[in-house]
């Protein structure tokens, strides 16, 4: 059952490893099938050693439909996200170090780099602390996500979401890239911010980037002055 999708999840898990977002068996990935079942990675297994049969097929209310492995220890929180956000089809949880580090400093990661506007659709909020494996992880994700595709779980890790695994993976990889740039800048000086209007513009522009979208409408491309800048 769902062989192709199971292999797609394993491949995405290996990419998380390749981009330095998880170590060994850290984090987890889950994917909603059009027929409603949720595929969840098994607990404590290394992605490059996983095979399709290691994946657990679950119902939305948490019953195991297929699979002999124990599902991720975060399954309750993950299912909460799928239950409360029918628009979300993929959830990725990582312990990616740079993005997680931001939660040690502040409550929000502003999209001062345009890549964050692209991959996460704007600012990314940090949730209050909740323990790993708790349903609160999922509740906080739903509460703090808004229109964004990511939240940072304070003192813990990151949750990214998407209508597809590809979108959730993009959000995780580029969130980390932006976090590295941000922390590098912050380590040596004051951060200069984009204003809300500029961030909104980058989010809108990136809706037209990539195959399958039309050209960026010209009216979207005007320069918006920064705060305090002359018109």
What is the rounded distance in angstroms from the CA atom of residue 171 to the CA atom of residue 162? 8
| Residue (17 or 112) nearer to Zn ion, CB | 17
Cβ of residue 56: shortest distance to Zn ion, in angstroms?
17
| Residue (22 or 194) nearer to Zn ion, CB | 22
What is the rounded distance in angstroms from the CA atom of residue 129 to the CA atom of residue 111? 22
How do the residues of the chain divide into helix, strand and coil, expressed in percent and rounded to 5? 40, 15, 45
Cβ of residue 137: shortest distance to Zn ion, in angstroms?
8
Cβ of residue 94: shortest distance to Zn ion, in angstroms?
8
CA dihedral 130, 22, 111, 86 (to 10 degrees): -60
Cα-to-chain-centroid distance, residue 184: 21
| Residue (130 or 148) nearer to Zn ion, CB | 130
| Residue (145 or 203) nearer to Zn ion, CB | 145
What is the rounded distance in angstroms from the CA atom of residue 20 to the CA atom of residue 48? 14
Question: By the criterion CB under 5 A, which residues form the site for Zn ion?
Answer: 132, 157
In which element (H, E) is residue 151 found? strand 150-153
Cβ of residue 95: shortest distance to Zn ion, in angstroms?
6
């Amino acid at each position: 059952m769902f062989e192709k999708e199971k292999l797609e999840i394993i491949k995405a898990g290996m990419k998380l490893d390749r981009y330095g977002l998880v170590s060994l068996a850290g984090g987890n990935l889950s994917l909603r099938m059009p027929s409603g079942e949720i595929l969840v990675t098994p607990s404590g297994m290394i992605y490059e050693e996983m095979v399709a049969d290691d994946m657990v097929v679950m119902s939305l209310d948490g019953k195991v439909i297929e699979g002999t492995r124990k599902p991720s220890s975060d399954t309750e929180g993950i299912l909460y996200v799928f239950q409360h956000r029918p628009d979300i089809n993929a959830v990725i949880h990582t312990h990616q170090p740079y993005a997680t580090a931001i939660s040690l400093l502040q409550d929000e990661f502003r999209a001062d780099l345009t890549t964050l506007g692209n991959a996460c659709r704007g600012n990314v909020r940090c949730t209050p602390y909740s323990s790993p494996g708790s349903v609160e992880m999922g509740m906080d994700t739903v509460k703090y996500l808004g229109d964004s595709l990511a939240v940072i779980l304070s003192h813990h890790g990151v949750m990214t979401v998407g209508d597809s695994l590809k979108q959730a993976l993009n959000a995780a990889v580029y969130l980390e890239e932006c976090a590295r740039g941000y922390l590098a800048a912050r380590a040596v000086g004051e951060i200069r911010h984009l204003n809300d209007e500029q961030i909104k513009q980058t989010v809108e522009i990136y809706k037209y980037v990539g195959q399958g979208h039309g050209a960026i409408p010209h009216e979207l491309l005007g320069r918006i002055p920064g705060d305090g800048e002359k018109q």
